[in-house]
Amino acid sequence: MNSEIKKTKMVPLPSQSIIPERDIAQKPILEVSRLGINFGGLAAVEDFNIAVGPTEICGIIGPNGAGKTTIFNLLTKVYQPTSGAILLDGQDTSNMNTVQINQAGIARTFQNIRLFPSLSVEDNVKIGLHNQIGYNMVSGIFRLPAFFSGERRARKRVMELLDIFDMTHLASHRAGSLPYGAQRRLELIRALATNPKLLLLDEPAAGMNPSETEELMSNIEKIRDSFQIAIMLIEHDMRLVMGICEGIAVINYGKIIAKGTPEEIQKNPLVIEAYLGKKKGKIHVKRDRDPGLLQ
Amino acid sequence: MRGLRLRSNIDNLLTYGLVIVAYIVMRLLIAGGNISSALQGQLVPITAYIVMAVSLNLTVGVLGELSLGHAGFMSVGAFSGVITATLLTDTIPTTWLRLALAMLVGSLIAAIFGFLIGIPVLRLQGDYLAIVTLAFGEIIKNVMNTIYLGYDKNGIRISMESANALKLDEGGKVILNGPMGAIGITKLSSFNAGFVLILITLFIVLNLINSKSGRAIKAVRDDKIAAESVGISVWRYRMMAFVTSATLAGAAGALYALNYTTVVARKFDFNTSILILVFVVLGGMGNIRGSIIAATVLTVLPEVLRAFNEVRMLVYAIILILVMLVRNNVTLRQLFQKIGIKRRNSLANNKEGDDA
């Protein structure tokens, strides 16, 4: 990880961006303005603005039930926003559905792992590659040459991707039978396989011990550097968030209450209040898992 | 790393092998005259039921959606197949070609119905497909009961009233006679044709399952939200599986109907749909070979049990229950695994079964 990049100052953009200086020279990959959704009159997310640079790692934190997962669900159109605009790489996404969003370049993982449990690890990743495998149903049924070349290329790519997390030896295992940590890694690989520009990780370190978290942090940075993509993550593990995120947005009751670099966030009195009530001091985080709205 | 793939290839070869060996054995038995005429009459229905079971397995086992009207597609295929075959009697004298065309038309019409049902229903979550297919089966049965269709040298005539309302000329012929069903069918189907249709069905279904599209279908079954999140259109792949399933059922229907001189719409009612579902459930969800075996055994069984005429259905029920108990018995399943019979679902369950 380039330490120079980490030190760059945050400069405010018109849309209250938290992207570092280096990314402002380029066009942001994701621009969200005034995003909101109402569930029967209750504003789950309100007036959410953010801009993410093309290779930025950005974190969203906040207490349980603050609306973090809802933001991911809005970005991927699992829920249709009731207000606001989402621009992905300058392109308006308001008419897209979940499938088109993925094809346009957003991939995600889920808080409560969602793999294809009855399929093998290899097939799970191949499903991520689905839209890049260039043969159709007819070539598949009649086993035309396109089928074999397509499958061969897909298999090669699967092994390359699995190799990032040293999982090639698990390729033929059933995804549902993998241990918890491996399932989380597989879900990340599957999301990466769709060739995204922006990767959304929903609590990637949930249920991991400190050494696994450490490994995950270096892996996230490794992915950003080798794939040159932006990563947005929701996480309760402050060591991870403060350690790898270049910009952080803090959400409470569906609204952004603070934005900035990790250092700025740690000192922000509003953030401290949201997490700990009135008491001052170091940020403490509840380890309970966010129930989320997706279930 | 090749383990799972290799095993699935061997699995498929075994399925083809089973069908081919069974065919050869039956042929030898017929040639030797060692087979009862009752059983010989069951051969074509058995092949049709096998195709029905395999195709339903695509919807129920591989796609994971419940369909309760598979016999409806069989009915559509049967009647459109009969009409095609009868109309082509003079144009195409070659029997097998006429049968092939009848099955083709039957499957196309069934595919269209499958597509039409799929447009609204496959977008919905939940049990709607089961409800709508159930209704479809009943509707088709009742519609076929009221249709009169005949042809003479002036062309085809359709009526909803009676056969006389068709006002056919001298030499005209009634094909569909309302509640009497299709009448005066020339028998075209044969055991050989059924065997070929099974092979074609297996070719389509197994290759589909083991391709990119099949993976997407299984992904949709396992987790719809996750499938969408990686860019797989749930509707499209549900439709692909459902229409393929309906298409094959249409071909099976044509094969079945052209084996008799008359066919009534009542033959393809809810009971038949459930019977086929029983084949699939008993043979194992997603297990194609299981469907074939279950369809064969459960079609032959009532014939074999004729010896115990009074308690026939009782014995049939007991056998069904026993099979289910055995299939779900952990100890027995472990025993099967030890002697090498592995169920698809538990393939990679044992972690020791690493790289082959």
CATH number of domain containing B204: 1.10.3470
Residue A21: pLDDT above 60?
A: no
CA dihedral for A166, A167, A169, A171, sign (positive or negative): negative
Distance CA A83, CA B344 (A): 48
Q: Is A103 on the interface with B (CB under 8 A)?
A: yes
Q: Of A99, A114, A136, which has the smallest distance from its Cβ to B231's Cβ? A: A99
Please report the pLDDT score of residue A33 as a whole number: 86
Cβ neighbours of A133 in B, within 8 Å: 212
Q: What does the DSSP 8-state code read for residue A26?
A: S
Q: Is A195 on the interface with B (CB under 8 A)?
A: no
Subunit contact B231:A193, Cβ cutoff 8 A: no
pLDDT band at B182 (very low <50, low <70, confident <90, very high): very high
Q: How many folded domains does chain A comprise?
A: 2
Cβ neighbours of A127 in B, within 8 Å: 215-216, 219, 227, 230, 232
CA distance to partner chain B, nearest, from residue A170 (Å): 8
Is A289 part of any domain? no
Is B151 part of any domain? no
Residue A231: pLDDT above 80?
A: yes
The whole-number average pLDDT for the span A85-98 is 90
Subunit contact B207:A142, Cβ cutoff 8 A: yes
Please report the pLDDT score of residue B38 as a whole number: 83
Q: Is A144 on the interface with B (CB under 8 A)?
A: no
CATH number of domain containing A147: 3.40.50.300
Residue A25: pLDDT above 60?
A: no
Cβ neighbours of B354 in A, within 8 Å: 169, 172-173
Is B106 part of any domain? yes
Size of interface A-B (CB pairs under 8 A): 123
CA distance to partner chain A, nearest, from residue B100 (Å): 19
pLDDT more than 90, % of chain B: 65
Weakest-pLDDT range from A10-14, B28-32, B142-146: A10-14
Q: Which domain holds residue A238?
A: 7-105+197-277
Is B339 part of any domain? yes
Please report the pLDDT score of residue A271 as a whole number: 86
Distance CA A194, CA A126 (A): 9
Same domain, A92 and A203: yes
Is B167 part of any domain? no
Cβ neighbours of B203 in A, within 8 Å: 141
Q: Work out the burial of residue A288: count CB atoms within 10 Å of its CB; fewer than 13 is exposed, 13-18 middle, 19 or more buried.
A: exposed
Q: Of B213, B234, B351, which has the smallest distance from its Cβ to A140's Cβ? A: B213
Is A282 part of any domain? no
CA distance to partner chain B, nearest, from residue A3 (Å): 33
For residue A13, the SS3 value is: coil
- Read off the tokens for B277: 């579902």
Same domain, A226 and A189: no
Q: What is the pLDDT of residues A191-217, one digit of tens each?
A: 999 999 999 999 999 988 899 999 999
pLDDT band at B340 (very low <50, low <70, confident <90, very high): low
Considering only residues A235 and B313, tell me which one the structure prediction assigns the higher pLDDT. A235
pLDDT more than 70, % of chain B: 92
Cβ neighbours of A142 in B, within 8 Å: 207
User: Closest by alpha carbon to B347, among B293, B295, B284?
Assistant: B284
Q: Which domain holds residue B218?
A: 2-145+181-355
- Read off the tokens for B2: 């090749």
Please state at what angle helix B212-222 crosses helix B191-209, rounded to 10 degrees.
70
Residue A158: pLDDT above 70?
A: yes
Is B160 part of any domain? no
Is B162 part of any domain? no
Q: Of A78, A99, A126, which has the smallest distance from its Cβ to B215's Cβ? A: A126
Please report the pLDDT score of residue A97 as a whole number: 94
User: Closest by alpha carbon to B271, among B305, B313, B213?
Assistant: B313
pLDDT band at B344 (very low <50, low <70, confident <90, very high): very low
Is A1 part of any domain? no
CA distance to partner chain A, nearest, from residue B39 (Å): 34
Is A168 part of any domain? yes
Is A286 part of any domain? no
Same domain, A100 and A202: yes
Residue B217: pLDDT above 80?
A: yes
Same domain, A90 and A16: yes
pLDDT band at B9 (very low <50, low <70, confident <90, very high): confident
Is B171 part of any domain? no
Q: Of A102, A140, A174, which has the smallest distance from its Cβ to B229's Cβ? A: A102
- Residue A37 phi/psi, 5° resolution? -145, 140
Same domain, A202 and A191: no
Q: Is A171 on the interface with B (CB under 8 A)?
A: yes
pLDDT band at B8 (very low <50, low <70, confident <90, very high): confident
Q: Is A87 on the interface with B (CB under 8 A)?
A: no
Amino acid letter, residue B240:
M
ipTM of the complex: 0.84
Please report the pLDDT score of residue A6 as a whole number: 39
Is A16 part of any domain? yes
Residue A150: pLDDT above 90?
A: yes
Residue A11: pLDDT above 50?
A: no
Cβ neighbours of A116 in B, within 8 Å: 218-219, 222-223, 226-227
User: Closest by alpha carbon to A31, among A101, A91, A82, A79?
Assistant: A91
Round the CA-based radius of gyration of chain B to a whole number and report it: 21
Residue A281: pLDDT above 60?
A: no
Same domain, A122 and A232: no
Weakest-pLDDT range from A290-294, B124-128, B168-172: A290-294
Same domain, A99 and A231: yes
Is B37 part of any domain? yes
Distance CA A96, CA A105 (A): 12
Distance CA A209, CA B322 (A): 47
Ramachandran class of B160: left when φ > 0, alpha when ψ lies in -120 to 50, beta otherwise: alpha
Q: Of A78, A116, A135, which has the smallest distance from its Cβ to B212's Cβ? A: A135
Residue A115: pLDDT above 70?
A: yes
Same domain, A212 and A188: no
Output the average pLDDT for chain B.
89
Q: What is the pLDDT of residues B270-316, one digit of tens each?
A: 999 999 999 998 888 889 999 999 999 989 888 888 777 777 778 77
Distance CA B209, CA B60 (A): 13
Same domain, A119 and A179: yes
Residue B137: pLDDT above 90?
A: yes
Subunit contact A191:B229, Cβ cutoff 8 A: yes
Same domain, A249 and A134: no
Same domain, A86 and A33: yes
Same domain, A98 and A123: no
Q: Is A133 on the interface with B (CB under 8 A)?
A: yes
Give this prediction's pTM. 0.87
Q: How many folded domains does chain B comprise?
A: 1
Interface with chain B: mutation pick from A72, A114, A151, highest number of B CBs within 10 Å: A114
